[in-house]
Each structure stands twice: as structure tokens, then as C-alpha cells.
Chains A and B, each alone.
Chain A
Amino acid sequence: MEGNPVLKVENLVVRFYTYEGVVKAIEKVSFFLREGEVLGIVGETGCGKSVTALSVMRLTPHPGRIENGEVYIKTDDGLVNILEKDEKYLEKIRGRYISIVFQEPGAALNPLYKIGDQIAEVLLIHRRLNYYKRALKVIEDKIWRENSSFKRRILSMQRKVCKMLIENPNSTLASILLKLPLISGLKKLIEQEVREDVIMILRDMGLPDPERVYNMYPHELSGGMKQRAVIAMALACNPKIMIADEPTTNLDVTIQAQILQLIKDLREKLGSSIIYITHDLGVIAELCDRVAVMYAGNICEVANVYEIFKNPLHPYTKALLESIPRPGRPFKSIPGTIPNLINPPPGCRFHPRCKYAMDKCRREVPRLIKVGEDHYVACHLVRG
């Protein structure tokens, strides 16, 4: 039924401990992500879309806390519950198996470093050993071809340090040795190798003149280019899962079309699974395979994208679809406002705004039930 999930979230509960009270931001959210699919998460501001995404990466912002639940991520050692792991392990997971692209590319990039160096950092964290090995190969090649015995001696010294690094990447002695004048050639060699990779990635992102972009600072790039650079950073290590948190919200429609096309192309090429968070139903229709609709910290409907648009079952999904302005049709909106999550309404959290609300809705929290092939709804009105 779930195919082959690369990500599985079960009963996730996230609360924020603020001065006004405990904000019940995410309440028992469960979903999964199949290999190679794009799962869209839609909902209004403050419904918990972004908190869900951040919690999946264990990046829940302060004063939030993950209270309960399991988040399984597929790694080379099979499914791993990352909520049980320590920070050191998470460092290995983030960027390599799962990565995130934020809404505001300007805030995601460090203004003091060159674009290229920021992407190189990701590669160096996860693939350092690879680069040492590549550098070793190059040095050994050079030794063979070198005629002057003096230079050969320097190169063999570099080889020794390189081997030291491969044995123990964190060795202090090696890192001190790297700074010595004669051996620093090795450092340059490694940097050159990384640089080539970064430029290749930048080229894949459709950035014009990647050699020049490598040496640019974030403020020199336009919004669309910055977002491409951030996507490059997220995909540098070919993670299996990418979370995109409203990556095109602040961009113009024409640039949005470019970025969406890029995401589509990259998905084909790299076969990554994507969680795409947005409030724009148009983007959802364009990009996603499956959609999860969120309201006030709950998932209220999950279905295939065709099913959501053709046959929405939850009253909130229906209302959301009707609120899209269409010419020649009166404007429809959802009455009321999003509830305060410090004191959420009892029962179904949507009941105060729902025109079909019954007594049962005020008392009991509806569970997500299966109503059809790949279609789940949490509403008392719908029976499985």
C-alpha cells in the first residue's frame, strides 16, 4: 500500500512553549513519501506546513519541541528513526539523505561567503574522503611523471599527508601539516577538485557562466539565481529526499516557471523524492503526484493530485479549491479565521468554520481513514 517509502512520519506531535501558553502546532501527523514522487503539502499560513518540514529534519525552531512520534528516513542502513539519533548522526543525514530549500533564498545564503564556497562546504562535509582519494591519485600520477628528484620528494611528502588524511580525516597533525608551505600544494589540489564539482553542479542548475557565479557573493545574484544556488546546495550530494518550503513564493511568475521547470528536470535526472510545500494550488496541480492538505496542525486529506482536484471530500479542501479566483464566477471564501492553536477547538479543528458541522464534530477528533485507492480523509461526514 505504501510502495517503497523513503520517508515515513508517524504520529508527529510538535508543541511550542511560549509565554502565552503551549501552541499545539502539529497534532499527530502521519504521512509517507514514496520513492521518486512529489508530495505536495498545502494549507493556509500557520497551519503547520513549514513546522512539519523542519521537524522532519529535526530543525524545529525554538521554543518548539518534538513531543512524540517517529520520523523514518531511508539511509544506506535501511529505515532509521532520526528522532532517536544524536546531533552528530543527524549531521551525516542532513544534506546527504535529506535536504531542504527555504522560501527566502537571501536568508538561506551566508552573505559573507562566495556562492561556490558555500556549495563546496556541503561537498566537503559529506564527501571529504572522496576528494582526498582523488587528490592522492593525482599526486601519484604526478610522481610518476616528475623528473626532478627534489620535486618528487615534495610530492611524496604530500602523498604521505594525503594518506594520513584518508586514514583519519580529522587528524590534527595532518591539518597542521597542510598549512606548511611545501605541502600546501595538496590543499590547493583538493580545493581544485571540489571547485570542478561545484561548477558542474552550478551548470546543472542552469546558471549561466558558472565559473563566474562561483566567485560571486549572494547580493550580486538576482532572486531567481539565488534560489538556483540554494537548490544546488541542497542537491550537491544527491540526497534521496528534498524538502522545498515555498521556494517560489517570493519570485515572479516567469521566474517561478523557470524554477518549477528546473525542479521537474532535476527530479527526472536524479530520481529524488520531493516534498513540496506551498499555498498555491496552481503549483500543486502542475508539479505534484500526491497532495496532503493541512489545517491547523492536522492533515485533513491526502490523495492523488487528480483525485484532490476532481473529487475533494473534506469540506476544507473543497473550500480551499473554491477560494481560487476564477473569472466569471463570484468570489468564494472560507468564513471565519484560523483558530488559535493555544486553545484549538475541541473535536475536529475545522468545525467552527465548517458548514456541515454536526455534534459529533465538536466532540470527537476524526481519524484519517481510507476512502479509496490512495485517498485518505479525516472527516466524520465521510465513511470509508
Chain B
Amino acid sequence: MNHPDINATRLSKIAEGQRARIVAVGGSGALRRRILEMGMTKGTELLVEKYAPLRDPLEIIVKGFHISLRVEEASEITVEIVE
């Protein structure tokens, strides 16, 4: 996804404890829809809670609940960092 915002980055690049807002959810088919249906729609704010000990998957908090995503899945989600 092309996004003019220079702050836009992949969710997988966000550090632990950092907040971000979803700009776009890429990927295809089931995965993309699953992510959206869990409430991670455009504009939703999330917090990267932690990475697993082996650095994959990662845990995020979105809309008050905790979700884990693989790094490769998170890399499909474009976000902008919220200061």
C-alpha cells in the first residue's frame, strides 16, 4: 500500500511499548478479513505490548483486548506511530 504519510511504517517495525494507529491492512483473503473483523480497522489505535521471547509472534492491545500476531502477519499492517 502506498501511503503519502512519511510516518507510515509496518506494524512489525514498531518497538515494544510503542503506540500506533492503523493506516491500512494489507495481505490477502482470510488473514486480512480476520484482522479486520477482530476490530483492527483503519484508524484504530493499538499498543505493541511485547514480543515473544523468540521475537515472534508479537502481542498487541487493541480495543481493550490482547491479540498475538506473527511478525510476517504484522508486516502486512501499515501503521503510523502515535506520540
Say whether A and B bind each other: no
